[in-house]
Chains A and B, each alone.
Chain A
Amino acid sequence: MTMHGPIRPEEARVNVTYGGKNGDLPDPVHFDSTDGDIRGWVTEAVRAGSIPGIDADPNADFRDFVVDRFEANEARPHRLIQMRPKTPFGGHEARVRAALDWALVEYASTLAKLAQ
């Protein structure tokens, strides 16, 4: 992972948010690195306290964090990889059943109104 020097076109800065703090991995990584590799490097770095601005946490756990990738732009001349927590809700089988029940009740109610 360690690649010193300026950020090359095929590399990216890795930005991390953890424990209420935000910081960058000291060294860039290859932009096409896998999510799993990035998660592993970030976990290792936060546990060791090697990300400036983020307190060391020997129990740091990046399970359920996602990796976002951004191309360079006018404001930021290098590519960027950010690790942030996932944010979806739902996907519960019981919730699907509840939704179907609710739809059936609504449908029946509409039919009853139309029949009046």
Chain B
Amino acid sequence: MMEAGVVIDLNGEPLHWHLPVDRTVVSLPDSRPLWDIVWENREKIAGIAHSHPGGGVPGPSYEDVTTFSAIERALGRRLKWWITSADAAIVAVWTGPGLLTYSSTLCKELEWMKKLRQISNDVHVANATILFAREGERP
């Protein structure tokens, strides 16, 4: 298993799969290319999802919420932050008033979550930044 991320557009579709070379089983590294994608598509992004290892209800780490907050301050608007585990998913949103006050709720299964788990679990997927032009396309 390797953590993976995906940028979701306002239609609920994957816009960009984030599979950096130096991702690990428990982390995704700082990535300027990810920020460039977010900034270039800032008008059409609903949020960003990433996978956690193992099962159970996932929760954001301190690293996660500080990243949520920094990206939202740069964009000037709030996003949704999904996190998946092997068998559950949550969505975190800023609820304030503190800079890092995010609340998580269990999330229904969304179509792209299956693919996010597949990509996370398939250690043979090449570590690369991959753009999915069409639904159903595999890396």
Interface residues of A (CB under 8 A from B): 17-21, 61, 63-66, 68, 84-92, 94-96, 98-99, 101-103
Contact = CB atoms under 8 A, between A and B. Distances in A.
Contacts of A89: 3, 5, 27-28, 50, 61, 63-64, 67
Interface residues of B, number: 41
B134 to A, nearest CB: 26
B26 A87 contact: no
B80 interface: no
Given A102-B55, A102-B86, A88 B74 contact: no
Interface string B64-105: 101101110111110000000110000000000001000000
Nearest to A95: B26
23 contacts: A17-B74, A18-B73, A20-B74, A64-B70, A68-B32, A84-B39, A85-B71, A86-B70, A87-B34, A88-B27, A89-B50, A90-B26, A90-B50, A90-B61, A90-B63, A91-B26, A92-B62, A92-B63, A95-B26, A95-B61, A98-B85, A99-B26, A103-B25
B24 interface: yes
A96 B26 contact: yes
B31 interface: yes
A98 B99 contact: no
B64 A84 contact: no
Given A86-B66, A90-B64, A98 B30 contact: no
A99 B25 contact: yes
| Best-buried of B69, B70, B77, B99 by chain A (most CB within 10 Å) | B70
Interface of B: 1, 3, 5, 24-32, 34-35, 38-39, 42, 50, 52-56, 59, 61-64, 66-67, 69-71, 73-77, 85-86, 99
Nearest to A65: B70
A17 B39 contact: yes
A98 B54 contact: yes
A65 B69 CA distance: 10
B74 A92 contact: no
Contacts of B59: 94
Given A98-B53, A102-B55, 8 more contacts: A20-B74, A86-B70, A88-B27, A88-B29, A89-B63, A92-B62, A98-B85, A99-B26
